[in-house]
Chain A
Amino acid sequence: MTSPLRLDLATVGVLWRRDLVRFFRQPSRLVGALGQPIIFWLVIGSGMSATFRMPGAAVGYLAYFYPGVVLMVVLFAAIFTTVSVIEDRHAGFLQAVLAGPGSRGALVLGKSLGSASVALTQAALFLALMPWAGFRPLEVDWPLLLAALALVAVGLAALGFAVAWAVDNVMGYHAVQMTLLVPMWVVSGAMFPPSAAQPAFGAVMRANPVAYAVSATRRALSGPAAPGALPGSAARDLAVLALFAAAALSLALLAARRPARPR
């Protein structure tokens, strides 16, 4: 028999490739991936720019908000690519994967990497607009940016997988994600920095993995002391994100071990 490791790698590869092929084959998803964040960025960004003052730095709101929108792209992509798991496991290709020779761990990893890759692709499309937000592509710390976004994308995709597998219905999935993931983004410093007058908000932010992704993205785009970045360093941001990805993958594996009730 083929070795277990080879079979697991094969399963990871199949699921990873499949998500990317499906994404590039649907032009509407490519358009949506770029259109929605641009509108969001410009509409909210312009609305807020008149009142927004970054304490201690002369930075416009469109520039401040831009890294936040990059994270929003990653977050929504992770939500929308993992919801398909619910249909897929009962009446789709995942049935064949479950009955195939790969392990559940390989299934979780393959699906999470696939979703994360789609999320990164969407983020890359939006990042192409960075000159209009006032960032210079040649001055960007690309390795840091890629590492931060890849780690948070894997984490959020795995979290989405865990929720999808545990909840097992589409309505419930969206309800959970809207109360779990969207607030995570809102209190990540993506839209506004924590104020010294509200220490509770700052504490919540420091416990929120998405905040470290926003922070690392700010550092990658504007240097280590970027306005709005968390105290600490890029290395600490990445360490937290790596922990988050590992924890989310473990949670997803735990969820995937539970069998589904036949419908």
Chain B
Amino acid sequence: MTRPEADRPRGAQAAPRLAARGIAFAWGARRVLEDLSFEVRPGEIFGFLGPNGAGKSTLFSILTGLLPPAAGELRLDGRKVAFGARELRARMGVVFQEPSLDAKLTARENLLLGAALFALPRAVARERADRLLAAAGLFDRARDLAGRLSGGMRRRLELARALVHRPSLLVLDEPTTGLDAAAFRRAWEALLALRQDDGLTLLLTTHRPEEAERCDRLAVLDRGRIVACEAPEALRARVRGDVVVVEAEEPGPLAVEISSRLGLAARAGPSAVTIERERGHELVPRLVEAFPAGRFRSVSVRRPTLADAFLDVTGQALEDPGGTV
């Protein structure tokens, strides 16, 4: 993905929009986050990829000032800033995973109250609310109660509310949870347009590979640690060759048998066995010949996804936290 030239940092020395060093957090004896360090460049879309329970929501709470970390340091545009500092909150737009609209107020009132929190003058607030409603395709629904809008509309309204004070950094927690494919595409069109048109920096958490794919860089979060931080393409390139997927009733025993009979590294998932291999198509006839009909439902070959890369890097499945190898 390319960024518009204007949004690139001027020279290599430009300070990161947000830089974190050594963030740590624990609940009692349980360490949730350990020594997280990362830098988000201006105009970048930076994603934290990890399954549920990896510590994404805790990190989101820390970055948005809802939870103080046990250790760590934060810099905004190169200047040191305290976690949860007012200066940081004033420059940040936040989209929560849980709804944060008032269902008993209209779409427009939600935006106006959001603007009022930042002490925007009333005329400015009204003008921005109308423009954001129009951009979100909600202009006709401006006077409807937020609780009456569809799920996709509410997500768009959440995004509009987070933008009403023109933040320079937008932080989103699982922004497309619960959205269908069409709403997902629309949401991402809106996010990409924000970066393109306003040079907005985006920091988001996600467990969806298709969402991670749209980020410029990804920090792979595994049990509270960043185990990789690179572009999605680079992450995917860690998986060599193709992925052969064998769908079966009992993937566990089948994986063991494939490993022993064909001498391949096979991983069992919840409903399929996956084998990473160059020239994957050559493996398909060997599998079909080696196992009698009925041992598996289907065999297919595909290019590796970020879910495969995540499995490769962490040994953990992305979508199914229980499905470790």
Interface of A toward B, CB cutoff 8 Å? 1-2, 4, 6-7, 9-11, 13-14, 17-18, 21-22, 25-26, 90-103, 259-262
A59 to B116, CA, bound (A): 51
When A22-B102, A101-B90 are in contact, do A96 and B116 touch as well, CB less than 8 Å? no
A18 to B112, CA, bound (A): 11
Interface of B toward A, CB cutoff 8 Å? 27, 57-58, 61, 64-68, 86-87, 89-90, 92, 94, 96, 98-102, 104-105, 109-110, 113-114, 116-119, 161
A90 to B86, CA, bound (A): 21
Residues of A within 8 A of B117 (CB): 7, 10-11, 14, 96-97, 100-102
Query: Knowing that A7-B117, A21-B109, A101-B86 are A-B contacts, what are 5 other residue pairs whose CB atoms are under 8 Å apart, sorted by A's residue number?
Result: A14-B116, A22-B102, A95-B96, A97-B117, A262-B61
- Chain A minimum-CB-distance residue to B32: A262
Contact A1–B87 (Cβ < 8 Å): yes
When A21-B105, A95-B98 are in contact, do A13 and B116 touch as well, CB less than 8 Å? yes
Contact A100–B89 (Cβ < 8 Å): yes
A95 to B57, CA, bound (A): 14
A234 to B: closest C-beta gap in Å: 37
A102 to B86, CA, bound (A): 7
Residues of B within 8 A of A99 (CB): 64-66, 89, 92, 94, 96
Contact B86–A103 (Cβ < 8 Å): yes
| 16 sampled A-B residue pairs with Cβ under 8 A | A4-B86, A6-B119, A7-B117, A7-B119, A13-B116, A14-B113, A18-B102, A22-B104, A92-B98, A92-B102, A93-B100, A94-B100, A99-B65, A99-B94, A100-B89, A259-B66
A90 to B: closest C-beta gap in Å: 6
B127 to A: closest C-beta gap in Å: 18
B202 to A: closest C-beta gap in Å: 16
A178 to B: closest C-beta gap in Å: 26
A159 to B314, CA, bound (A): 48
When A7-B119, A100-B118, A101-B90 are in contact, do A92 and B99 touch as well, CB less than 8 Å? yes
A102 to B102, CA, bound (A): 18
When A91-B98, A259-B66, A259-B67 are in contact, do A7 and B86 touch as well, CB less than 8 Å? yes
- Chain B minimum-CB-distance residue to A25: B104
Residues of B within 8 A of A22 (CB): 102, 104-105
Residues of A within 8 A of B89 (CB): 99-101
Residues of A within 8 A of B86 (CB): 4, 7, 101, 103
- Chain A minimum-CB-distance residue to B98: A91
B12 to A: closest C-beta gap in Å: 29
When A18-B105, A262-B58 are in contact, do A95 and B100 touch as well, CB less than 8 Å? yes
Residues of A within 8 A of B116 (CB): 10, 13-14
When A98-B66, A99-B65 are in contact, do A93 and B90 touch as well, CB less than 8 Å? no
Contact B114–A96 (Cβ < 8 Å): yes
A17 to B99, CA, bound (A): 20
A259 to B64, CA, bound (A): 12
- Chain A minimum-CB-distance residue to B171: A99
A262 to B161, CA, bound (A): 22
